[in-house]
Amino acid sequence: MIAYNKAKEEAEALRQLQVLELVTTKSTNVPYFKDKLKEHNISSLKPVGLDVFQVNVGKMCNQTCRHCHVNAGPDRQEIMTKETMQLCLNAIQKFNIPIVDLTGGAPELNPHFRWFVKACHALGKRIIVRCNLTILLEADEHNDLPDFFAENGVEVVSSLPFYDATRTDKVRGKGVFETSIKALKMLNARGYGKPDSGLLLDLVYNPAGAFLPASQTMLETEFKEHLWSEHGIVFNKLFALTNLPVSRFLNYLVNTDNYVSYMEELVNAFNPLAAENVMCRNMISVSWDGYLFDCDFNQMLNMKVAADERNHVANFDLDYLLKREVKVSQHCYGCTAGAGSSCGGEIVLL
Amino acid sequence: MAKDYYKPEDLKKFGTIGNYQKPLADKFFAWYGEVFKEGALTEKEKDLIALAVAHVVQCPYCIDAYTTNCVKNGYSEAQMMEAVHVGAAIKGGAVLAHSVQMMNKNEEISF
Ligand code: SF4
Ligand code: SF4
């Protein structure tokens, strides 16, 4: 176990922000994200509402994917406590926020995960769990997760980098594709992804390297064809996500000398329509220790929504949050490239 | 004289060929754009053809560009390599097919 070291984590977030700032000096083709917005007459990103309450319940994960922006892994100790979860429930209930989106790490590894999901279900919320699939087979205690998800009306959103083992395993580790296929079959057997079952199973594609995703529609068609013909697997929708230059993926870009050209590619593909519809305008993201952020990426960069106590879920102030200005940096280009990218995939139809 | 004949950053300058002859460059880029749009073939199919041709004409810029496109569009490593083999086979075949001309000439000038 690696002991949690707050100062070290904060220093690392600051270092990443500096790397993001620095790119503007390394290429004349990468202006500050804020300036790019202004070029398109967008003075700042302001919320349009608050429908999604995303909770990162901890950084512990059974995998260590190469693109992971959370830098998650089996050694991470940052796990949300039941008390913080209760504070989340209070805010969700008090302000009647309709969607609860659970992420991590592997959210299922939080010891209070099931308690929290049940509580959200009791409040009648739409619940999304970002499940990495392999967790279902990680230990016997997780094998009944498909039943648990179904009983609580959970929508399962699962990452699968590709429909073959070569690319998937390159991103997520050896043998992950095979285990993911087994897990998908378990979910299908419980009705997930089947037409008319009412149980939603969506997949997330993200590029296995320093390139942008192809069209979501094309990828969805191919994923559906391959997973069905080669494995008899069905799912509902595929979301194509862009890898954002944060954490492990940022380090990969820098170490492989792909950083500047990747950023240039993101800037080249800047789409003002996607910029106007970025997901942070309708969500709030809560970290394992209860701090509030515009999104999970800003969380990793320690860009809290406020400098005062309103930056914690214990002091959830909806009025303030709805009037805030979203904190941006160069990583935001990942959300505005091409058709855009959000936790729900492409943002605009091209 | 330049130290290197090929520089990756020169690909970005491709558009500047119009500085010396704009009407022809404009026509070329418009035509190029049309060629790669979905038609009887999909954009994805055209990317794989372009990858094979890029190898045959040995253009490092096109190899970089169409490798990226092919990876992005979900071609497997094996598919991309097979496409290059197709290009190589056609090129190799074309060389060998010309040997018929060599044989013809040989017959013509020899006792
Ligand atoms: S990407 Fe998801 S599954 Fe992979 S290490 Fe990060 S949290 Fe775990
Ligand atoms: S990275 Fe976060 S803050 Fe930036 S545009 Fe995307 S969602 Fe918004």
Delineate the domains of chain B, giving CATH numbers in brackets.
41-111 (1.20.1290.10)
Tens digits of pLDDT across chain B (111 residues): 667 888 888 888 999 999 999 999 999 999 999 999 999 999 999 999 999 999 999 999 999 999 999 999 989 999 999 999 999 999 999 999 999 999 999 999 998
Task: Establish, for the pair of chains A and B, how many residue pairs have beta carbons separated by less than 8 Å.
Answer: 22
Tell how strand A154-159 and strand A99-103 pair up.
unpaired
The partner residues of A238 in beta bridges, in order of sequence, read A203
| Strands A292-293 and A283-286, sheet pairing | antiparallel
Q: Give the nearest ligand 1 atom to A67 CA.
A: 1
| CA nearest ligand 2 atom 5, residue | A332
Q: Which ligand is in closest contact with the Cα of A347? A: 2
**What is the strand order of the sheet A52-56 is part of?**
A238-240, A201-205, A154-159, A126-131, A99-103, A52-56, A283-286, A292-293
Instruction: Please give the distance, rounded to the nearest whole angstrom, from the Cα atom of residue A277 to the centre of ligand 2.
Output: 10
User: Which of A27, A168, A218, A267 would you mutate first to test chain B, the one with the most B CBs within 10 A?
Assistant: A218
Q: Does the beta carbon of A68 lie inside 6 Å of ligand 1?
A: yes
Cα separation of A263 and A245, whole Å?
Answer: 8
pLDDT tens per residue across span A206-255: 998 999 999 999 999 999 999 999 999 999 999 999 999 999 999 999 99
CB < 8 Å from A in window 74-103 of B: 74, 76-77
Structure tokens belonging to residue B106: 């040989």
> Ligand 2: distance of its center to the CA of A274 in Å?
11
Give the whole-angstrom CA distance, residue A250 versus residue A235.
31
Domains of chain A from N-terminus onward = 6-334 (3.20.20.70)
Q: Give every CB contact of residue A2 below 8 A, 6+ residues apart in sequence.
A: A75, A76, A77
Inspect the interface and report whether the beta carbons of B72 and A166 lie closer than 8 Å.
Answer: no
pLDDT digits (tens, 9 = 90+) for B35-61: 999 999 999 999 999 999 999 999 999
Q: Report residue A265 as tokens.
A: 């590619």
Separation between Cα atoms, residue A244 and residue A345, nearest integer Å: 13
**ipTM of the assembly?**
0.72
Given a contact cutoff of 8 angstroms between Cβ atoms, the answer to whether B67 and B80 are in contact is: yes
- Centre of ligand 1 to C-alpha A98, Å, is 25
Terminal-to-terminal C-alpha distance of chain A: 46
Closest residue by Cα to atom 5, ligand 1, is A64
Alpha carbon of residue A336 to chain centroid? 15
Looking at chain A, which residue has its C-alpha nearest residue B68?
A: A211
Nearest CA, atom 3, ligand 1: A132
Write b or e for each residue in A63-83: b if 16 or more Cβ atoms lie within 10 A of its Cβ, otherwise e: bebbbbbbbbbeebebbbbee
Task: Determine the distance separating the centroid of ligand 2 and the alpha carbon of A154, expressed in angstroms.
Answer: 25
Chain B residues in contact with A166 by the CB 8 A cut-off are: 76-77
Query: Nearest Cβ partner of B74 from A209, A212, A214?
Result: A214
- Chain B partners of A209 at a C-beta cutoff of 8 Å? 71
Q: Any idea which residue has 């995960």 for tokens?
A: A113
What is the chain A residue with the closest CA to B70?
A214
Q: Is B71 on the interface with A (CB under 8 A)?
A: yes
Q: Within an 8 Å CB–CB cutoff, is residue B107 touching chain A?
A: no
Is the CB of residue A96 less than 8 Å from the CB of residue A50? no
Q: Bridge-partner residues for A100, per DSSP?
A: A53, A127
- The pairs formed by A149-153 with CB atoms below 8 angstroms and a separation of 24 or more are A149/A187, A149/A190, A149/A192, A149/A199, A150/A190, A150/A191, A150/A192, A150/A199, A152/A117, A152/A118, A152/A120, A152/A121, A152/A127, A153/A121, A153/A126, A153/A127
Residue A86 is encoded by which pair of tokens? Answer: 């209760």
Cα-based distances in Å from A264 to A24, A42, A261:
10, 20, 5
**Under a CB-based contact definition with an 8 Å cutoff, are residues A79 and A288 in contact?**
yes
Residue A135: C-alpha distances to residues A55, A75, A166 (Å): 18, 15, 20
DSSP A57-82: -BSB-S---TT-SS--BTT---B--H
With a cut of 50, list the residues of chain A below it in pLDDT: none
CA separation for the pair A81, A116 (Å, rounded): 11
Helix axes B43-56, B60-72, angle to 10 degrees: 150
Q: How many residues does chain B have?
A: 111
Scanning every residue of chain B, which has its alpha carbon at the shortest distance from the alpha carbon of A223?
A: B74
Distance from C-alpha of A16 to C-alpha of A70, rounded to nearest angstrom: 13
pLDDT of residue A350: 60
pTM: 0.89
Residue A211 and residue B72: Cβ atoms within 8 Å? yes
What is the model's pLDDT at position B5? 84
